[in-house]
Amino acid sequence: GAVVSQHPSWVICKSGTSVKIECRSLDFQATTMFWYRQFPKQSLMLMATSNEGSKATYEQGVEKDKFLINHASLTLSTLTVTSAHPEDSSFYICSASWGDTQYFGPGTRLTVL
């Protein structure tokens, strides 16, 4: 149990386009999901907390108009990177809490050309 999926696994896009990443909890319901960003050879940095039915809470320094988060149901949260630029290239990982433990998706590697 406690499986989290992400789609797509990787995406390459042109500068200026928008990219949507989906995060799903497959076998449990998650009222709260989290979005992280990881640069090469670095640790994970929390970007935002996604709450079902309400607005996301963004960490300091994260542009909420740049990284749009929607938590439409108890099993789905989406992250949209709007008007992507090369500096947005990164590994994006979501997680969901089940009980006291957070479970992580496999990540989405975004490359902006």
Q: Which residues bind to another protein, rule: CB under 8 A?
A: 32, 34, 38, 42-46, 49, 57, 91, 93, 95, 97, 100-104, 106-107, 109
Q: Which is nearer to another protein, 30 or 112 (CB)?
A: 30
* Phi (first) and psi of residue 87, to 5 degrees: -70, -10
Query: For residues 1 and 14, which CB has a smaller minimum distance to another protein in the complex?
Result: 1
For residue 103, the minimal CB distance to another protein (Å) is 6
CA distances from 20 to 12, 13, 84 (A): 12, 11, 11
CB of 78 to another protein, least distance (A): 19
Nearest approach in angstroms of CB 16 to another protein is 26
Sorted by sequence, the CB contacts under 8 Å of residue 90 that are 6+ apart come out as 37, 38, 39, 110
Q: Look up residue 67 and give its two tokens.
A: 């990284």
Q: Specify the DSSP class assigned to residue 26.
A: S
Structure-token match 């994260």, residue found:
62
Q: How far is the CB of 19 from another protein (least distance, A)?
A: 17
When the beta carbons of 82 and 104 are compared against another protein, the nearer one is 104
